[in-house]
Amino acid sequence: MRMGVLDIGSNTGHLLVVDAFRGAPPVPAFSLKEPLRLAEHLDDDQAVTDEGVSRLVDYVTSARLAAEDKGCSTVLAFATSAVRDAVNADEVIARVDAESGIELQVLAGADEARLTFLAVRRWFGWSAGRLGVFDIGGGSLELAVGSDETPDVATSVPLGAGRLTREWLDEGRSTAELRSFVRATIAEQAGPILRGGAFDKAVATSKTFRSLARILGATPSSEGKFVKRWLTRAELVPLVERLSTLSDEQIADLPGVSSDRAHQMRAGAVVAEATMDLFEVDELEICPWALREGVLLQHLDQL
């Protein structure tokens, strides 16, 4: 069957159209992305602004029309941190539903971590053993660990690259101050995750991790999703310092960095390095599947 998965993230809206069958990997057929930057369309009360909601409605409407044109029988639509944490989330969802004809499901942070973990497990299989899965989004950091398809621990903390850029670096606070805050916040979550022992495989998903790996020499996405890609702590540590000395324009010129995310890479690198250090991970393998695939796989399992 042909299905659409519509992901409204803190940075980007992404419609992925796939041909999906139970017992087989979903095959991408079409993609429609737009840099919505919802996390940057919040007022002082943490409500999504009228401009932000209008941009969201316009994009969701265009995504619905595109999914119809591509022959989708179902569109699974969900929103993550930026909408989840907004004080006017109910109003935003109601307006999107009324004006676009698409009903967004707001995912809880723990569900976001759990579904990302499911996608990673299916990608690597049972032979991967005990998985540690890390995902840096625009608004939050998702952490999950386990040996089955359902993780033993799945949690979300407000350490997204966009959120930290807006609330810390754009306010003139130093990278050193941000580093201390990030490490203290992650450390509060470390106990339950580390209690089960070391990971057999540590995995990263999300654009932030992919971009960091690409800066450090990982194979570009144009070479295909089956090429193994890695991010090592030894290379990441000096990169954190290097990024703090570069302008947004200089960061945007680095391999794998898009101009709309360049300003977030400093904060994203701080979170990535702290995560690897506190969880004693020397290298992360980059997984091409993440939340969208997890939502799709869960839906197919339930049919």
Both structure tokens of 79 = 């929103």
pLDDT score, position 272 = 98
93-124 in b/e burial notation, b at 16+ Cβ within 10 A?
bebbeeebebebebbebbbbbbbbbbbbbebb
pLDDT at 21 over 90: no
* Crossing angle of the two packed helices 50-69 and 89-100, in degrees rounded to 10: 40
Q: What is the pLDDT of residues 138-190, one digit of tens each?
A: 999 999 999 999 999 999 999 999 999 999 999 999 999 999 999 999 999 99
Ordered domains of the chain (ranges, CATH): 2-106 (3.30.420.40), 109-291 (3.30.420.150)
Instruction: Give the rounded distance of the alpha carbon of 144 from its chain centre.
Output: 13
Indicate the pTM of the whole model. 0.96
